[in-house]
Amino acid sequence: MTVIKSTARLGRLGLVPDALVLPHWLALTFSLLIFVGLGYAYRSHGIKGVGAISTQVLAIVFVQLSTKLVLQHGFPYPTCIALVHFSLVWLVSSFMTRVDWKRYVVDKEELVKDAAWYGRRILPIAVLQT
């Protein structure tokens, strides 16, 4: 089996924009190596740091692939997807930084203060993104 296969039939169906595609095993191997590299690079941050950066990478990949999929089927609001992504990233990252993991307590004052900062600085970027 060759590393690169021709996908002329899929290209005619409009499923693959390019004429070449990599096999799944190669894509999965590459993805695994990325996460191994992230784990190695962030090992000093502990499991929480590696988990946070890995979750962020997975969220970015998921949003990119889902945006591509829905735009191919005529969804006219890509900004909506970006807004939801930015909002969820803020929510998850705020939760992860505000929780006292030993007692599982959320500092609500810091979360509200953080939400106001997010609304002033990040939300306009999410709304105006094209």
Say if residue 114's pLDDT is above 80.
Answer: no
- Distance (Å, whole) CA 49 – CA 51: 5
With bands split at pLDDT 50, 70 and 90, how would you rate the model's confidence at 36? Answer: very high
pTM of the model: 0.48
Q: Tokens standing for 25?
A: 């095993």
With bands split at pLDDT 50, 70 and 90, how would you rate the model's confidence at 81? Answer: confident
Instruction: Report, as an integer, the average pLDDT of 40-68.
Output: 84
